[in-house]
Amino acid sequence: MTQITEYRVTDFDCPTCASNVERALSKADGVERVEVHYTTGRVEIEFDETAVDADRLERAITNQGYTPRPR
């Protein structure tokens, strides 16, 4: 079953930071679509909840050095 979750990440320093997070999330199993907006810090992830859970997605963002806050 597909689910959409959103986070706010306010500690991006540059567009490359947002691209790195988007790339890391895109590589996670079960992720179907990712949008990361550098200027607003909005991260929207569409994923298959039978393949991955929101905690793992949060860890993927944290592992890139940023702090995700659920919206």
**Where along the chain do its domains lie?**
2-70
State percent of the chain over pLDDT 70. 100
| H helices present in the chain, as ranges | 15-27, 54-63
Give percent of the chain with pLDDT exceeding 90.
97
Which residues share a beta bridge with 36?
43
pLDDT digits (tens, 9 = 90+) for 31-56: 999 999 999 999 999 999 999 999 99
d(CA 39, CA 31): 23
2-70: what fold? Alpha-Beta Plaits (3.30.70)
Average pLDDT score, the chain: 96
What kind and span of H or E run contains 68?
strand 68-70
